[in-house]
């Protein structure tokens, strides 16, 4: 029995050593990503990383919470799914301030107003239903987009941190319905218009149903750039350098330009 226990303990130790993220012999880079477009973009850099001796393991997530926690827990080497306001908000709420940092701005997903029923915002009538994301950063951004297009007016002093309470004028008495960002796309047929993030529009095949969206030259493009995020302690690691180099390439820029019809806008290369 003692020999069996000793053998099992040895196997556990060996397994722990083999799976450690800090091992110099570890040539696998695990990146958490949303399925569309992040995981699709990451797949394009696998050959680049292979030339540098690395294997890219893409772990796909369908929510916006687990990828950051998995990175903090060292189950991932990086993640790629979020913009800076969301990262900061998550870090504050989860009490992980300054543990995760952005290593590269890869692309921008213009938030847009979409509809399967209407082709113009001129069709907005009394009581039209408009869905927006219910999380604070995307919700405030959605309300700003509605305001920029004359559908509502907002308290100018609140910046992007606006909520429904900050609406100062709603001339058509539109009904603004808050729901999860993913649900805005899934349930678009139940409303007149939906304010969608680019990735959710793509996932629901709604990229041809956009009416207006944020421009690449807007402040939103800088503020809401989608980031490659790593642990602060690994910002200068060889894995991080290899991943940044692979994503900051013409390969990624050309793939985005040719694939996403402007719903995803490349911010690379920057070198």
130-176 confidence digits (pLDDT tens):
999 998 888 998 999 999 999 999 987 666 789 999 999 999 999 99
79 has which bridge partners?
32, 229
Q: What is the rounded CA–CA span in Å between residue 157 and residue 23?
A: 50
Q: What is the rounded CA–CA span in Å between residue 195 and residue 138?
A: 9
| Tens digit of each residue's pLDDT (9 = 90 or more) over 183-225 | 999 999 999 999 998 889 988 999 889 999 987 777 788 889 9
Instruction: Write the CA distances from 137 to 8, 69, 82, 83, integer angstroms.
Output: 48, 19, 11, 10
| Cα radius of gyration rounded to whole Å, the chain | 21
> Which ranges constitute the DSSP H helices of the chain?
2-19, 40-43, 46-51, 66-72, 84-93, 136-148, 181-186, 198-203, 219-223, 238-247, 250-259
Compute the average pLDDT of residues 116-139.
94
pLDDT of residue 24: 63
What pTM value is reported for the model?
Answer: 0.75
pLDDT of residue 158: 63
- Considering only CA atoms, which of 116, 263, 251 is closest in space to residue 203? 263
Q: What is the rounded CA–CA span in Å between residue 157 and residue 164?
A: 14
Q: Buried (b) or exposed (e) across 2-33, using 16+ Cβ within 10 A? A: eeeeeeeeeeeeeeeeeeeeeeeebeebbbbb
């Amino acid at each position: 029995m003692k020999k069996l226990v000793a053998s099992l303990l040895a196997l556990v130790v060996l397994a722990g050593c083999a799976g450690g993220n800090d091992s110099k012999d570890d040539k696998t880079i695990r990146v958490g990503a949303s399925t569309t477009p992040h995981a699709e973009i990451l797949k394009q850099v696998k050959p680049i990383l292979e030339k540098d001796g690395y294997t890219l393991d893409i772990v796909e997530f369908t929510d916006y919470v687990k990828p950051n926690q998995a990175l903090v827990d060292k189950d991932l080497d990086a993640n790629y799914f979020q913009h800076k306001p969301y990262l900061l908000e998550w870090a504050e709420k989860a009490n992980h301030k300054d543990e995760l940092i952005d290593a590269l701005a890869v692309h921008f997903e213009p938030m847009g107003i979409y509809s399967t029923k209407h082709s113009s915002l001129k069709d907005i009538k009394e009581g039209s239903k408009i869905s927006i994301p219910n999380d604070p950063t995307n919700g405030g951004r959605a309300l700003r987009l509605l305001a920029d297009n004359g559908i509502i007016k907002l308290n100018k002093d609140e910046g992007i941190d606006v909520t429904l309470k900050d609406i100062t004028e709603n001339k058509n008495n539109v009904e603004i319905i808050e729901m999860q960002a993913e649900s805005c796309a899934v349930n678009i047929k139940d409303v007149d218009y939906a304010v969608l993030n680019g990735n959710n529009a793509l996932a629901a095949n709604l990229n041809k149903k956009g009416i207006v969206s944020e421009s690449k030259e807007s402040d939103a493009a800088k503020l809401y750039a989608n980031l490659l995020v790593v642990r602060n302690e690994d910002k200068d690691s060889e894995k991080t350098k290899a991943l940044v180099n692979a994503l900051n390439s013409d390969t990624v820029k050309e793939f985005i330009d040719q694939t996403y019809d402007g719903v995803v806008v490349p911010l690379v290369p920057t070198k």
